[in-house]
Every structure is written in C-alpha cells, then in structure tokens.
C-alpha cells in the first residue's frame, strides 16, 4: 500500500485528474462485474469472474497506455497528428464497406489473428481532435480567413464525421460538437463556426437521402424510430422504462453491490445503461452523484489547465479531449434519465468495452502530459523569478 502511495506522490501533472482517472477505473471494474452477472450465466455457464477479469485487464492495459502517453512530451502529438488523421480516414471507409456487423451496425473491424473487434471511430475521434488542436494552434495568425479555416479545419471535420455518421450518428454528432467548441475556444471567426454548422446540416440532409436509398448503409430507420419514440414521451421504450425503475429502486443509498435486479431486464446494462445499474446498487449518494461529480471535476481541472497553459496547442488539445469525454458522459447519463433519445453512447471509462476504454485512457494520458508540461513551465518561471529577485538584491 505504501508503494502505491509513493508512486502516486511521484506522479507529475494534475494529481486531481490522476485521482479522477483511478476512481473511474475502480467504478468500471466493480460496476461491470455486477452488471454482467446475468449474461455470465447465459453465455459463460455462470462464470461471473470472466467479465471481471476481462474488464480488469482492459482497465490495466488502458492505465499502462495512459502512463506511456503521459510520459511522452505532448508536443510530439502535434507532429504525428496528420499521420493519425490520414490513417483514420481509410479505416473508416473500410469499416463502412467491409466492417463487422453487430446489432445491424458496421462500426467494427475484426483482427483475424486474435479474433477481436476494434471500433474504428474511437481511433478517428482521437486523431481528429489532436489534428484540429494542431491546426488551430499553428494557424493562430491567420485563423480568421477562409483559407486558414476551411481546408485545414472544417473540411477534415466534415469528412471524418460524415464517415462515422452512417453507422453511428450519436458518436459523429458528439465529435462534431466537440470540434465546434474547439473552434470557438481557438478564436476562429464566428462566421466560419456558422459555416461548419451549415455544412453539418447539409451533411445530415445528404445522409437522410442516402438512408432512404440505401438503408443497408445508413441507419435512417433507427434514427427516426428513436426520435419518434422520444418525442412521443418515450414511456414505451423498454430500456428507458427499466432504467428509470433501476434508478428509483436505488433511491439515495442503493440496494447494495451485486444486488441489482434490473440488470436482468435492461439490454446492455454493462454498457449503455450502466449508470442506471450504478444508481440502483450504490444509490444517488454513493454512486449517481459521485459519478456526475467526477466528470464535472475533470471539466473544471481541464479548464484550469487551459488558463495556465503557455502554449495554445496544449490548451486546446486538453480541452478538446476533456470535452469529448465529459459531453459523452452527460449524454449517456441523460439517456438513462430520459432527457434525450437513446444514443448508444457508453459511459467513458466506466462501461464495459475494449477499444473505447483503451482510447479513453489514452485521452487521459495526453491530458496529463499537458498538465505535466504546465506544472514544469510554472516551476521554471518561479525559479527564474527567484534568480531575478536574488540578482536585484545584490544590485
């Protein structure tokens, strides 16, 4: 235990973000273990430890990746950003044409030698956010003209979001909103922010037309049904009804870890509706409110990094990655309490998953790398001020 505390003390960067990262990882392992009880009996012969070990391995591997990304100087991400974007676009195109279909959606590609699937949109999200942060930082001098804003920023956003949207509209919308906010933070002229909004609406119209003509490629029927059910009141949506029952059953203090009943009725209680299971088992006091507080605290700490960062790239990068995580978390929670239509978005770093956990951990690692640089820059500045103060005293 003392070695763990010593390791935590030796970590540089924002200690609060480190703590948030660790707590979300612990919530993930505990809640997924409980939420997968019913599917363990259905698919694993009652081996409930299978999903516990699997989730613990993914969280551990994610923590290792986060540490590697934290140790890497954040400026290096600016150098590799164009290459990441170039790799992500062909991957998305391949996924549309030849991806593995699960639940009537092609979001994954299968790695044959290990027989595992990866969700290419997770990689594309990270690549686009890093690329947009880089473009906004290096073009600060002429970001307000058309040439400086359209080709290097707006066009990649539209292309990547357009390739993700046919199979996963909610992820594409989330990424689009994140990039829109990054442009605003990066001091892009409001007329180009409005242009991006206009192009987003045009893209949505094109997708609707394509969905009508090619329903096997664009999930138009799913989008329409979810919006129709929500606008009609949503009370007939089975998963939303079960989610609200779970939260109500949990009350303030919960029914206790492992005692959830709604996990037997909720579709994907370990993914899309894991927040409802957390509320049921741990209650609002020990589960629902702390989870919300952790994501809000992350947002606050990243805003602090932005105000202290001496470099534009680091500030925009940290804020972009943070916004993507926090907005997705709020969208997932909003679905559980019927504030928005069902989206299919997971709770970042908490829901069961493979690539989603790994890339969320990588995002945390990059944020921590930026915070480490901010702390080092502050220490150097204080050291210089002390030297100057000593020199003045001698003079």
For every one of its 395 residues, what pLDDT tens digit does the chain have, with 9 covering 90 and above?
A: 565 566 656 677 788 999 999 999 998 998 888 888 777 777 776 677 888 888 899 999 999 999 999 999 888 999 999 999 999 999 998 888 777 776 666 777 777 666 677 888 899 999 999 999 998 888 766 666 666 566 778 889 999 998 888 888 888 889 999 999 998 888 787 888 888 888 888 888 887 777 666 666 666 666 667 777 666 665 556 777 888 888 888 888 888 888 888 888 877 788 888 898 898 889 889 888 999 999 999 999 999 988 887 788 888 999 999 999 999 999 999 888 878 777 778 899 998 878 889 999 999 999 999 998 887 766 666 666 566 556 566 55
Q: What is the pTM of this model?
A: 0.90
pLDDT of residue 9: 63
pLDDT value of position 2: 60
Per-domain residue ranges of the chain: 75-232
Quick one: pLDDT at residue 339? 80
What pLDDT does 368 receive?
93
Q: What is the structure's pLDDT at 115?
A: 63
Q: State residue 328's pLDDT score.
A: 93
Cβ(339)–Cβ(326) below 8 Å = no
* Residue 98 pLDDT: 78
């Amino acid at each position: 235990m003392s070695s763990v505390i010593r390791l935590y003390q030796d970590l540089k960067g924002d200690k609060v973000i480190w703590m948030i990262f660790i707590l979300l990882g612990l919530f993930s392992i505990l809640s997924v273990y409980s939420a997968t009880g019913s599917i363990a009996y259905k698919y694993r012969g009652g081996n409930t430890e299978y999903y516990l070990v699997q989730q613990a391995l993914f969280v551990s591997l994610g923590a290792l990746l986060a540490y590697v990304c934290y140790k890497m100087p954040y400026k290096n991400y600016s150098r590799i950003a164009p290459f990441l974007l170039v790799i992500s676009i062909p991957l998305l195109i391949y996924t549309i044409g030849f991806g593995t279909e699960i639940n009537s959606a092609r979001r994954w590609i299968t790695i044959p030698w290990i027989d595992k699937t990866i969700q290419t949109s997770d990689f594309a999200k990270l690549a686009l956010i890093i690329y947009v942060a880089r473009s906004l930082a290096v073009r600060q001098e002429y970001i307000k003209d058309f040439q400086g804003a359209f080709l290097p920023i707006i066009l990649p956003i539209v292309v990547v979001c357009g390739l993700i949207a046919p199979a996963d509209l909610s992820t594409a919308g989330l990424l689009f909103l994140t990039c829109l906010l990054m442009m605003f933070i990066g001091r892009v002229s409001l007329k180009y922010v409005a242009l991006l909004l206009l192009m987003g609406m045009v893209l949505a119209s094109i997708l609707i037309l394509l969905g009508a003509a090619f329903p096997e490629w664009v999930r138009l029927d799913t989008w329409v049904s979810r919006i129709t059910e929500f606008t009609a009141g949503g009370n007939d949506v089975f998963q939303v009804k079960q989610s609200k029952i779970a939260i109500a059953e949990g009350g303030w203090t919960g029914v206790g870890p492992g005692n959830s009943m709604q996990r037997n009725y909720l579709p994907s209680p370990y993914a899309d509706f894991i927040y409802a299971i957390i509320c049921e088992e741990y209650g609002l006091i020990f589960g629902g409110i702390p989870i919300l507080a952790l994501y809000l605290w992350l947002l606050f700490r990243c805003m602090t990094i932005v105000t202290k960062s001496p470099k534009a790239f680091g500030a925009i990068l940290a804020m972009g990655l943070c916004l993507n995580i926090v907005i997705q978390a709020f969208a997932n929670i909003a679905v559980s309490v019927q504030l928005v239509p069902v989206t299919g978005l997971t709770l970042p770093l908490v829901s069961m998953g493979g690539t989603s956990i790994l890339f969320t951990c990588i995002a945390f690692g990059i944020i921590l790398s930026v915070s480490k640089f901010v702390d080092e820059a502050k220490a150097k500045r204080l050291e210089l001020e002390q030297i100057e103060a000593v020199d003045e005293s001698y003079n």
